[in-house]
Structures are given as C-alpha cells and as structure tokens.
Chain A
Amino acid sequence: MTAGSARTPRGPTFRARFGHAVPYLLLAPGLFWLVVFYVIPAVQMFTYSISTGSLETGFEMSLTGDAYATAIDRFGKQFMNSILFGGAATLLTLAIGFPVAYTIAFRGGRYKNLILFLVIAPFFTSFLIRTISWKILLGDEGPLLAPLRHGLGFLDNDWLLIGHGAVIDGRFSLLNTPISQLAGLTYNFLPFMILPLYVALEKIDPRLIEAAEDLFANRAAAFRRVTLPLALPGVFAGSLLTFIPAMGDYINAELLGNPGTRMIGNVIQNRLLVQNDYPVGSALSFMLMAGILVAVAVYARALGTEQLTG
C-alpha cells in the first residue's frame, strides 16, 4: 500500500508532462523516414528543376522554367503514353481482378488461403525476370505465335485465313507492340488490384446480400446495389496501387515496348541517369507527381471520399 502510494504521484506527473507527446513520439520514426527520404529529396529535386547547368559545370538555381518548357514541349507524347497505358492497365486489372477477388472472398471456402498464396506466388520471382519471361511468351517464335505461324499452317494455307494475310502473316508480331507492353503492365500489377479488392469483399457481411435478395432484389440488383458499393474502397485502393506505379513504370516499356510506346518513366530514367540532365529529369518527375495528385483527387471526388476509408 505504501509502495503503491509512493508511486502514484509520479505517474500522473509523467503523464501530465509527456502524455500529449505520445502520439507524436509514435509517429516520429515514420515522420523521420518521410522527411529524410521524401521531403528533402523532393525539395532538392524541385531545386534542380528550376536550375540550369550541367554535371561538369555544376547546377545553378536560375529560377527559370526552361526545364518545364522542355518537358512539356518534348515529352508530351510520353506523358500521354503513361496516362493511356497506366489507365488501360488499371482498367484491365480491375476487369480481371474483380471476378478473381469475388470468387476468393465468396466461393473460396477452405482454399481461400491457398488461392491468395497463388495470387502472390509470382512475386517470389524478381520483377525483372517476370517481365523478361513475357518476351519469351510473346516472341515471334514463342509458344503462342509459333504454332499459329507454323504448326497449324496458318501461313501456308490460304483457306485458313480470313482474307489473305489478315489474321497472322509472316510479319505479325506481338512482342514490342503496345499489346505486349499492356500485357506486361497488367500482369505485373494484377496482385495489387486483387488483394485490396479481396479485403473489401471479404469484409462484406453475406447476410446483407441475403437480406437484399429477400427483400427487393434479384441477384444482379443485389450485386449492383449492395456488393459493389461496399467493395468501392477496395476498388479505390486497388486502382491507386495499380495506376500510380504503372504510370511511372519504365521496365515494361523498356523490355516489351518500342520507341513509340515509351512512357514518362523511361524519359526520367534516361534524363537523370544517362544524359545527366537533372533539370529536365527533375521537372518531369515533379510534373508526374503533380499529375498523379490531381488525378487521384479527381478520382476520389468522383467516387465520394467518405466511402473510401471503408
């Protein structure tokens, strides 16, 4: 008793003095990380983007927007490619991922964990290897095209073709076309869509759907009016996790695309690492960041923010 009463005055004092700081202390490691590895580099990058000079002579802050002018002037096409490929990959992963996530969540049963494992299993292989393997799959003499080209005689028998050379002729390629690039992007980011969707769908109480079906809806209406709205946070999270990295990706464009399909990530990589053109590279990075922020804001507004935190 005496020991307890001796301690009590110290407890409240400590709490009164430092209690309010606890949340900040808990945040400190994360904030430290953010400041050191994000804020400082971002500020430095912005400084570079309004500088002129070269690696040899050094960069001097000149407060000009030249780098931004060059970036917009010369690389509009690559920005466009990023939006198109990033957007298309997001839509495709959604189209492929939703049924998968739905099946795992509602029909997975005791195989749920196994299927989830299979979804992320490819991630045990390096990103690069996974992308390179698409080169083999889609190659002119790969497992997909070679049979079409030789085995089934599509090439030699005119009667198999819908009009001569219309389906697949000797020139037809998949690799290094927009198709292969989109395929690679979609494949590489698919798990980022499936997992958040699964989490959102898994949380849905099946009784809500039953109730809807009992009370007013057929299955399609129940899906549209109950399941889908409740899955929206997953759709939102999945699209962000897919769209943002897909937009900045350069590996897929580099390995599976051609010069006409290069994305802004390729330009940034080239400017910063090969040409050592820091101002333009930084300006491009900044514009990409700003573009993504705007896109996300618009998207969040369109879906309705209050629903998105789940």
Chain B
Amino acid sequence: MSEQPQSFSHDLTRRRFIQGSAMAGVAAFIAACTGTRASAPPASAPASTAPVASSSVAPSVAPSPSVAASPKVVSGPLKFANWPAYIDLAGAAGEAGEYSPGSSPSLEEFQKQFKVKVDYQEKIGDNATFVETIKPALVGGLATGWDLMVLTDWMASKVVANGWAEKIDQTNVPNCTGNIRDALKGQAWDATNDYHYPWQSGMTGVGFNAKTLKDNGIAEPTKIADLWNIPPDKMTFLTEARDTFGLVLLKLGVDANGETVTEQQLKDAAAAIQPLVDGGLRFTGNEYLESFAQKKVWAAFVWSGDLASSGGDDDKFIFPEEGTLIWTDNMLIPKGAANRYTAELMMNYVYDPKIAAQIANYIYYVSPVKGADEEIKKLDPEAATNPLLFPTPETVAKQHNFQSLSEEMEKIMNDLYSTLSGT
C-alpha cells in the first residue's frame, strides 16, 4: 500500500526527520526545515500522530488548529477512504473487482488534471468498524490520516454532530451546490450541506449465486423469507445492524421505518435471526464480495450495485418482494485533514455530471448528481433500463428508510445484534 510513489514526499520528510533527530536530536529544527508546508507544527507532532493514524502512511502534518479558510493550494497525496466496489475501474483491476493504484479512470483523470496524487483505499467495510479506527484521533483532536471518507447517513450524522468533520468551503465546490439532486438536500443533520455531499445512494436487498443454488437443488429466492430455506452456514447477513434488522423486519411484514420501530419489533427480528445463527449464519461487512468470489456464500444480504459491478456471472441481486432499504453514503472531510482543499476539489470533481455518470455506470449505484442520468444514457443506452441505476416506480414504492433510529432504539438494536453476533 505504502510503497507507491505517491508517498514519496512523506517518506522523504520522515526519513530526514528520523535521521535528523538521530544525529543531532534537534528535532524542532529538523521539523521546521523539512516541512514543505508553511505552518511547521511542534517537533513532537509528527511522531505523536503516527500511532493513532490507522493507515500505513502516517500524516506528517498535524492538524492546523482551526484555520478560518483552507488556503487554495493543491496538496497531496489525497488520502481517500471508501468502500469496496465503489469506484470505476479499468483493466485487470476491473476483472478482479478490486481497486489498485492506477486502475480507476476517473481518479487517474483527477490526478492528471490537478497534478496531485490520490491515495485511494477501499478501507471501509462497515461504518462502525471504520470509524472505530479513527475515533481515538478524532476524540484526541489529532489528524486521522484521511482527507476524505464516505459514511452512511446514520454514521455521517453522528460524525457531524460530534464536530468531527471539517466545514466545506462552498465556494470551492460549485458543482456540488449546483448539481446535488433536490431529494437529497435538506437532511435534518446537515440541512445546508455544510459538512457533507452524498457520494452514492443504494439499496439493501438479497444477493445469491444462481449456480450453487441450482447445483444444490434450491430455488432462487424472490423474497427475504426464502432465505430461511437455505442452509444458514452458507449465508451471511450484514454487520451493519440497520441493514440486517431492517430487512428482517420487512420479512416479518413490519414496516422498516427508523422513526416508528418499537422494541418488540426489534426483538421479534432478533428472534427470527437466532435460529439461523444457531445454524452457522455469519455477519460480514463489504467482505461478502470475497465470500461470493470464493463461492463460500450461496445467498446473503448485500448492497445493490456490488454484485453487478464486482460479482461473478452467476451472482445475482434481487429486489425482494417485501421491499428494500434505501440509504445514502456521504463524503466527509474528517477533522484535522491535511489536504482539505484537495478534498474539496475531489468533491467538486465527482459532481461533474460526466464524471458522476462514469462512476455510477460502473458501480451500479444511484448517482446523487443532477444531469448524471442523461450522461449515463449517452454513455450506455442500455443502462437507462437498469433498475440498479434507475429504480422502477414499483421498487421505489417499496423502499424503506431505516437510518434514523432514536438513540434508545439504536441501543436496543445494537444490544440485540451483539447477542446474535456472539459479542
């Protein structure tokens, strides 16, 4: 990960830092000399940020404490944390369904256009696990090592509420302010998009491998309830408790609505899952893609675009008859990010309808960008009928939002989930 040339300037800084302190021990002097940026932090800062940074390339610059507006200087490498199967890929990486540096046309174009490296990493498998890795830095007021991250509504709202996101300079993101789809504006937790812009929207439904099911004489599921006829040790549900509980509520014929859900309903859902757990059901984050690739799972709760973009030929996604869950993943700049302006440039860049179309048409999620629809149809006329990109009215009618649980219900759900998952 870290051997890429994009970390060159950091390596140089750190190497010289280490050499310097070893030889002379005049750390402050060295830090002042080697820092390419104007505000040299106290000499101890680079060392103290290293242990908390979750990435292998530690940031060499400590958060500049509340500078009013980020200087409009492109800096890098831009550290971008995203979910697997969430960026357009070309060549061998596209076949493998896994990002490797240089494999994403849109990111390559960005790097060329702005002459800055992008260190894009598919580090987010579920919200809680990822945020757990940066929480100590955020609580301690240190840089997380990331400049841009993508989190689902419920977690994004928490990050914003805790003051863990940098405010976006709206003058740097004219594409975002102009092109964000109206339906996504005015979220209660950040009504004026001071801190976030959506990356993609998607649905949670059911995925399966048609061939393995057929080989084992099991009919393809059309509804969530059908999963209870599949060997549980050949299935995974999601570590995102909202997705798992939401879909099981739909199976039970209960409206999966984050605002009206009751304790009893959550308990019923847990009781419905328990027999599957006893039979060997597991819970995974986005790693379910690996399980599908290895034919380890026959069916699973999955997110809508993943299997279409990164699964095999036999891997299918269905909108179950009971309905789907809808959510939006959002770009945020974590507090203390070293390259805020570049992060804003990236936000602005992906809100260019052409780029948005290029990404959405590859990853099969619903783009938040106005005008992307037309561009997608230009790129690929067939895509116009793809329900993953353009959900049909019937699908939309059965979409449920299970994001905004009250704190009390969230606690109950997390508790039930932790019992199910054995922790």
A259 near B233: Cβ-Cβ < 8 Å: no
**B281-A259 in contact (CB<8A):** yes
Q: Is B187 an interface residue (CB 8 A)?
A: no
State A141–B312 Cα separation when bound (angstroms): 15
Partner of B422, one of A139, A171, A173, A261: A261
Q: Which residues of A contact B422 (CB under 8 A)?
A: 77-78, 258-262, 266-267
Q: Does A10 contact B (CB under 8 A)?
A: no
Query: Which of A77, A141, A259, A271 has the most C-beta atoms of chain B within 10 angstroms of its own C-beta?
Result: A259
CA distance A64 to B200 in the complex (A): 47
Which residues of the partner chain B approach A141 to less than 8 Å between Cβ atoms?
Answer: 294-296
Chain B residues whose C-beta falls within 8 Å of the C-beta of A171 in the assembled complex: 216, 231, 233-234
> In the bound complex, do residue B420 and residue A259 qualify as a contact, i.e. CB atoms below 8 Å apart?
yes
Q: Is the CB of A275 within 8 A of B421?
A: no
Q: Which of B134-173 touch A at CB < 8 Å?
A: none
Tell me the complex Cα distance, A250–B294, Å. 24
Q: A210-238: contact bitstring with B at CB < 8 Å (1 yes, 0 no)? A: 00000000000000000000000000000
B392 contacts partner chain A, Cβ-Cβ < 8 Å = no
Residue of B nearest to A175 (CB): B296
A139, B418: Cβ atoms closer than 8 Å: no
Q: Mark B394-423, 1 if CB is under 8 A from A, else 0.
A: 000000000000000000001100111111
Instruction: List A8-23 residues whose CB lies under 8 Å from chain B.
Output: none
A90 to B328, CA, bound (A): 47
CB-based contact A259/B277 at 8 Å: yes
Q: Determine if A76 is an interface residue (Cβ-Cβ < 8 Å).
A: no
Q: A258-B280, A259-B422 are in contact. Are A139 and B215 (CB under 8 A)?
A: no
Residue A273 lies at the interface, judged by CB distance under 8 Å to chain B: yes
B214 to chain A: closest CB distance in Å?
Answer: 11
Chain A contacts with B in 75-132, Cβ cutoff 8 A:
77-78
Give the docked Cα–Cα distance between A142 and B296 (Å).
Answer: 10
A176, CB-defined interface residue at 8 Å: yes
Contact at A262–B282, with CB atoms within 8 Å?
A: no
Given contact pairs A140-B296, A141-B295, A260-B277, A74 touches B215 in the complex (Cβ within 8 A): no
CB 8 Å contact bits of A38-71 with B (1 = contact, 0 = none): 0000000000000000000000000000000000
Contact of A176 among B129, B216, B278, B280 (CB under 8 A): B280
Are A170 and B296 CB-contacts (below 8 A) given A259-B422, A267-B423?
no
Say whether B132 faces chain A, with CB atoms less than 8 Å apart: yes
Cβ-defined contact, A170 with B277, below 8 A? no
Cβ of B245 under 8 Å from chain A = no
Tell me the smallest distance from the CB of A66 to a CB of chain B, in Å.
15
- B282 A269 Cβ-Cβ under 8 A: no
Tell me, yes or no, whether A133 is within 8 Å of chain B by CB: no
Whether the Cβ atoms of A266 and B233 lie closer than 8 Å is no
Q: Give chain A interface residues in 285-310, CB to chain B under 8 Å.
A: none
Is A3 at the interface (CB under 8 A from chain B)?
no
Q: Which residues of A contact B415 (CB under 8 A)?
A: 275
- The yes or no answer to B283 lying at the interface (CB within 8 A) is yes
Question: In the complex, A266→B239 CA distance in Å?
Answer: 14
Enumerate chain B residues within 8 angstroms of A259, measured Cβ to Cβ. 277, 281-283, 420-422
Q: Give chain A residues whose Cβ lies under 8 Å from the Cβ of B418.
A: 270, 274-275
Min CB–CB distance B171 → chain A (angstroms)? 35
Interface string of B16-33 (1 = CB under 8 A from A): 000000000000000000
B216-A173 in contact (CB<8A): no
Question: Which residues from chain A contact B233 at a C-beta distance below 8 Å?
Answer: 171, 173, 176, 258
In the bound complex, what is the Cα–Cα distance between A227 and B259 (angstroms)?
70
Nearest residue in B to A266 (C-beta to C-beta)?
A: B423
Which chain B positions have C-beta within 8 A of A269?
423
Q: Within B250-286, which residues are at the interface with A (CB < 8 Å)? A: 277-278, 280-283
CB-CB < 8 A to A176: which residues of B?
233, 280, 282
Q: How far is the CA of A308 from the CA of B419 in the complex (A)?
A: 41
Find out whether the CB atom of A273 lies under 8 angstroms from the CB atom of B215: no
Residues of A134-159 whose CB lies within 8 A of B: 139-142
Question: In the assembled complex, how far is the CB of residue A180 from the closest CB belonging to chain B, in whole angstroms?
Answer: 12
B234 with A275: CB separation less than 8 A: no
Residues of chain B in range 345-394 having any CB-CB distance to chain A below 8 Å: none
Q: Could you tell me which B residues sit within 8 Å of A by CB distance?
A: 128-129, 132, 212, 215-216, 231, 233-234, 277-278, 280-283, 294-296, 414-415, 418-423
Residues of A within 8 A of B (CB): 74, 77-78, 139-142, 170-171, 173, 175-177, 258-262, 266-267, 269-271, 273-275
Can you list 20 A-B pairs, Cβ within 8 angstroms, ordered by A? Answer: A78-B423, A140-B294, A140-B295, A141-B296, A175-B296, A176-B280, A176-B282, A258-B280, A258-B282, A259-B277, A259-B420, A259-B421, A260-B280, A260-B422, A262-B421, A262-B422, A266-B422, A269-B423, A274-B132, A275-B415
Extra pairs beyond A170-B215, A258-B280 (4, CB < 8 Å) = A171-B233, A171-B234, A259-B282, A262-B423
4 pairs of A and B residues whose beta carbons are closest in the complex: A262-B422, A270-B423, A259-B422, A266-B423
